[in-house]
Structure 1
Amino acid sequence: MPSPPAETFPANTPAVSQIFVTSLTQGPLTRLELARRAALSPAAVTKAVRPLIEAGYLTESADEESRPTLGRPASLVRVDGGRALFIGVKVTGDEVIGVLTDLCCRVLLARHLLLTDRTPRAVLATLAELTQELLAEAVDLGVQVVGAGVAVSGDVDRTAGMVRYSPFLEWRDVPLAELTAAAMGLPVTVDNDVRALTVAEQWFGAGVGLSDFALVTVGAGIGCGLVVHGRVVAGAHGVAGEIGHVTVDPTGPLCHCGNRGCVEAIAGDAAIVERVRAATGAVVADAGQAAALAHEGVAGAQEAYARAGEAIGRGIATVANLFGPERVIISGEGLAAYDLFAAQIREAFAAAAFGSAAECDVQTRPLPFEEWARGAAATAIQSFIGSGPHQ
């Protein structure tokens, strides 16, 4: 049974939305600290906080832990995470992962359904089945689900809700937001999976408080989400950050995009597996088996990962050289083999980064696919409170 019509978030001014986002991502905070971080006057904060407290989205209570020696303890403004629920879905080539989160994007439960047919019709049926399971769980919690997010790899136009091209699903021009909204009975936000994960990291993860950072994902594909001046950047055509298709070896292997020597054509899982097969003559079914051979000391397998690490390092250096992020976060399922190419990533990055760009903080952050689904939920939260979409 679909949820009742979703309510409207009481963001009647930009200041209300700004105060709520600051509380959500950096709180709990005192009103004075809220004013400082949001660059608003105390009077503006008071005016913005009032409707949010009245609607139950914010609460205010004494901070007993920082009680002064004399006088009353300071009051802290915090988000009531239980005020609303959201569904987030990550669609891969062979399964659909769904999560139910609260307003603070904390995962309450997760579900996985296998995907044996990648056609839009079959995926929509699986999405509807998954949604019904999560909505049933939400009924038991007694809180309304007010929005959903769906994350898909490839060229995704969030504003139009359109999947322009998804190579792993073999989709072109699928109006996914419209179709899933009808199937789910909820407002739906559709975005590229890496950008969705970037939103989650910006608001709730390793990017909190950073104005400029990048999230690079390694695995089946090589993706990159960019945050510039506090905004997730999609670009004029929705494909900003595609470092997987930066050419690092013009004479390298052919990429599915049609060019040669792209980072993804060298460092994507399929590329590594193919190179290990060619170098060793072994029957290698997947990246796990390729990594196992490399861990066993098989030279051809180790060389494939070393080459992949060099390509990734050069790709990350390109990102650092172009916009100088404070931090680059490396994530994705490919981190399972990170020890096999970590040194090459660092060396190639250091060699190719220009000047002070090499001072960028490069760190790893393993995130399972449930976190990618959580990223989709983060985009739904963003849409609900009226702070998106990105540029």
Structure 2
Amino acid sequence: MRSTTRGETFPVSTPAASQIFTTVLSHGPLTRLEAARRAGLSPAAVTKAVRPLLAAGYLAEDADDGGRPALGRPANLVRVDGGRALFIGVKVTGDAVIAVLTDLCCRIRLARRLPVTDRAVRAVLTSIAELTHGLRVEAEDFGAPVLGLGIAVSGDVDRAEGVARYSPFLDWRGVPLAELASLTTGLPVVVENDVRALTVAEQWFGAGVGLSDFAVVTVGAGIGCGLVVHGRLVAGAHGVAGEIGHVAVDPAGPLCHCGNRGCVEAIAGDAAIVARVRQVTGRQVAGPAEAAALAHAGVAGAREAYARAGEAIGRGIATVANLFGPERVIISGEGLAAHDLFAGHIRDAFTAAAFGSAARCDVQTRPLPFEEWARGAAATAIHSFITPTPQG
């Protein structure tokens, strides 16, 4: 479950206030009328929601500079005061723990990382605690409190319970990560699947701003997918919505670690590509960078491995487009370092497999460093902080 250790609390407890805050966060500064239009609320509801946020310093008000036409008195602009509070976001990979300190507008103020030499839960928690403590010390220079910690990990994550149910690249099962991290850091903690965390960042600040329906597909050690439907991040009844990495695109394909054959991840994940390059070239390829180098050098078997991966990813994205018809699919992840090797194959396979108008989906490639994933974790902490806790 979400950590209950709290210092400061958000000054309002209604969904409308949270909605207005996130609207101003993503699109602001805005007049109250503009905020009402974007949020689909009445001006009276916006005024009621904004008042306590202004009083507590989470929102600030500036006089319009005259750049907007208005009758009578110029409307004041409302914006989020980014310096009012700070949050920490952590992205855990199999190789490193990456942490960022952000302000309330989720702008990265500091970024730090530690290598992962031991993937055991206790060792990773020690690294998280060390990075968190260091950032909190440095945060004193910004003169604002650190109000929450978000942690993003790969795999099957139960955000409501704060449990990493299964993280294959860390070999974790049933880890109560929110509770353990809260005990070691003293902060309220929210734990989220890393791709969903990145999707939140894209929804609020990136290529998904203003879109009602979009998807983020990540390519790298695994193949992940985050979904936003009707403006809401979708996890599904069991928390695994969007797992296109385990959509079978070749029933006779290679065995996946999930136990099935021909999953997108079993063909297009980093390990799968490296294994394929080794198989078809007979070379002892050390990792993704070497596999990509061989492909860039024109080694036929290596190029074929990337073409095969691109086709699998494109078919997986087409499945997403056919199922819920997003306006945009954003492709990201560490695997995009070699995106020139399979981008065309992704597009061709997507176009061939997308049904009807689903093929009109805007497919974008957007390489992002792991600090942006950690920023997404901070965004989930901000979201948790401003979202009313159900009473019961």
TM > 0.5: yes
1:101 aligns with 2:86: no
* Whole-Å separation in 2 of the counterparts to 1:63 and 1:209: 23
Deviations, residues 176-235 of structure 1 (Å, cap 9, x unaligned):
000001111100000100001011111111111111100000011000001111111111
Shift of 1:70: 8.8
Amino acid at match of 2:239: G
Asked whether the 8 Å contact 2:150–2:381 carries over to 1, the reply is yes
Q: Using a 3 Å threshold, how does the CA distance of structure 1 residues 259 and 30 change in structure 2: closer, same or farther?
A: same
Rounded Cα–Cα distance in structure 1 between residues aligned with 2:354 and 2:43: 43
Give 3-state SS (helix, strand or coil) of 1:64's partner.
coil
Question: Which whole-Å CA distance do the structure 1 matches of 2:151 and 2:71 have between them?
Answer: 51
Opposite residue 137 of structure 1, the aligned amino acid is: E
Partner Cα separation in structure 1 for residue 14 and residue 235 of structure 2? 25
Partner residue of 2:316? 315
Match of 1:28 in 2: 29
Where do 1:201-350 residues align within 5 Å?
201-350=202-351
Aligned to 1:180: 181
1:154–1:165: 8 Å Cα contact kept in structure 2?
yes
Distance in 1 (alpha carbons) for counterparts of 2:70 and 2:216: 44
1:375 maps onto 2:369 in alignment: no
2:271 and 2:211 map into 1 onto residues whose CA distance is: 33
Q: Distance in 2 between matches of 1:361 and 1:11?
A: 38
Q: Is the 8 A contact 1:11 1:386 kept in 2?
A: no
Q: Deviations over 1:334-372 (max 9, x none)?
A: 111111011111110000000000000000111100000
Cα distance between partner residues in 1 of 2:361 and 2:389: 27
Q: Is the 8 A contact 1:149 1:376 kept in 2?
A: yes
**1:130, 1:388 → 2: CA distance?**
28
Q: Distance in 2 between matches of 1:81 and 1:25?
A: 12
How far did 1:47 drift?
A: 1.4
Aligned equivalent of 2:145: 144
What CA deviation, in whole Å up to 9, does each residue of 1:42-91 have, x standing for no partner? Answer: 22221111100000011111121506599654311100011000000000
Query: Equivalent residue for 2:387?
Result: 386
Distance 1:37 1:376 in 2: 25
> Is residue 280–residue 300 contact of structure 1 (8 Å, CA) maintained in 2?
yes
Q: Which residue of 2 aligns with 1:196?
A: 197
Please tell me the residue identity of whatever aligns with 1:261. G
Deviations 1:277-306 (A, max 9, x none): 111112211101100000000000000000
Structure 2: 5+ residue stretches without partners: none
The residue identity in structure 2 corresponding to 1:233 is: V
Asked if the contact 1:66/1:73 (under 8 Å) is kept, the reply is no
In the alignment, the residues of structure 1 paired with residue 133 and residue 225 of structure 2 have an alpha-carbon distance, to the nearest angstrom, of 32
Letter aligned with residue 10 of structure 1: P
Question: Is the contact between residue 253 and residue 261 of structure 2 (CA under 8 Å) also seen in structure 1?
Answer: yes
* Equivalent residue, structure 2, for 1:157: 158
> Residues 205 and 137 from structure 1, CA distance in 2 versus in 1: closer, same or farther, beyond 3 angstroms?
same
Are 1:382 and 1:388, in contact at CA under 8 Å, matched by a contact in 2? no
Shift, 1:6, TM fit = 2.3
The equivalent residue for 2:12 is 11
Residue identity in the other structure for 1:172:
R
Give CA-to-partner distance per residue, 1:89-136, whole Å, 9 cap, x none: 000001100000000110001001011111111111111111111001
* Distance (Å, rounded) in 2 between the aligned partners of 1:26 and 1:70: 23
Q: Percent identity?
A: 79
Determine if contact 1:6/1:147 at 8 Å carries over to the other structure.
Answer: no
Matched residues in 2 for 1:47 and 1:71: separation? 22
* Residue type at the aligned position of 1:288: A
Query: CA offsets per residue over residues 252-274 of structure 1, 9 Å max, x none?
Result: 00000011100000000000001
- Under a length normalisation based on structure 2, what TM-score does the superposition of the two structures give? 0.96
Q: 1:189 touches 1:380 (CA, 8 Å); kept in 2?
A: yes
Q: 1:113, 1:126 within 8 Å by CA — same for their partners in 2?
A: yes
In the superposition, relative to structure 1, how do residues 67 and 32 fare at CA in structure 2: closer, same or farther (>3 Å)?
Answer: closer
Label 1:102 to 1:388 Cα distance change in 2 as closer, same or farther (>3 A): farther
Partner of 1:115: 116
- Equivalent-residue separation in structure 1 for 2:350 and 2:68 (angstroms): 48
3-state DSSP of counterpart to 2:298: coil
Q: In structure 1, the residue corresponding to 2:293 is in which secondary structure?
A: helix
Does the 8 Å CA contact 1:276/1:304 hold for their aligned counterparts? yes
Q: How far, CA to CA, are the matches of 2:353 and 2:192 in structure 1?
A: 31
RMSD of aligned alpha carbons = 1.5
Deviations 1:128-163 (A, max 9, x none): 111111001111211100001000000000000000
Find the counterpart in structure 2 of residue 362 from structure 1.
363
Q: Contact 2:13–2:387 (CA<8 Å) still a contact in 1?
A: no
Q: Are 1:66 and 1:74, in contact at CA under 8 Å, matched by a contact in 2? A: no
The match for 2:43 is: 42
Aligned-partner Cα distance in 1 for 2:132–2:276: 40
1:121-132 alignment runs, 5 A limit: 121-132=122-133
